[in-house]
Amino acid sequence: QFQKPEDAIKYRKASFTVMAAHFGRIGAMVNGKAPFDAKAAAENAALLAALAPLPGTAFGPGTDKGETRAKPEIWTESDKFKAGMTKMTEEVNKLNAAAKTGDLAQIKAAFGGAAQTCKSCHDNYRKD
Ligand code: ASC
């Protein structure tokens, strides 16, 4: 799937970066830093749902070294790591469903659930 380990590392970083951009645009609305725009929230959530399955495909063997903050536990407890990735995609799918309703309260609740899955993986599996 990837020619070289560094290609996989670049790919997963790029996908997280794009996810953060779209998640952040919803976050700004949820946190009152940007006016609520239901259409924009739905567009950002749909993109996020499409992107969520991507980074997890790029943590294969040999991609633990190089320009990465990935902790070795990703590979030593890979079932737990994969479960975290699955949970993240599920919460992002819930956020997408909530965003389609256009109801800010539902979006806020689902955003919180999704943000928690980002944070727990960062706490467990990302250096610094
Ligand atoms: C974001 C972002 C993350 C998560 C995380 C949630 O907007 O870029 O990595 O939310 O901070 O706790």
C-alpha 79 to ligand 1 mean position (Å): 23
Structural domains of the chain sorted by starting position, each given as residue range(s) with its CATH number in brackets: 5-125 (1.20.120.10)
Structure confidence by residue, pLDDT tens digits, 54-78: 999 999 999 999 999 999 999 999 9
Q: Which residues pair with 118 in a beta bridge?
A: none
pLDDT band at 128 (very low <50, low <70, confident <90, very high): confident
Structure confidence by residue, pLDDT tens digits, 74-105: 999 999 999 999 999 999 999 999 999 999 99
Structure confidence by residue, pLDDT tens digits, 20-62: 999 999 999 999 999 999 999 999 999 999 999 999 999 999 9
Question: What residues have CB less than 8 Å from 37, skipping those under 6 apart?
Answer: 29
C-alpha 118 to ligand 1 mean position (Å): 6
Question: What residues have CB less than 8 Å from 14, skipping those under 6 apart?
Answer: none
Query: To test the ligand 1 pocket, which listed residue (22, 95, 119, 123) has its Cβ within 8 A of the most ligand atoms?
Result: 119
Q: What ranges make up the beta strands (E) of the chain?
A: none
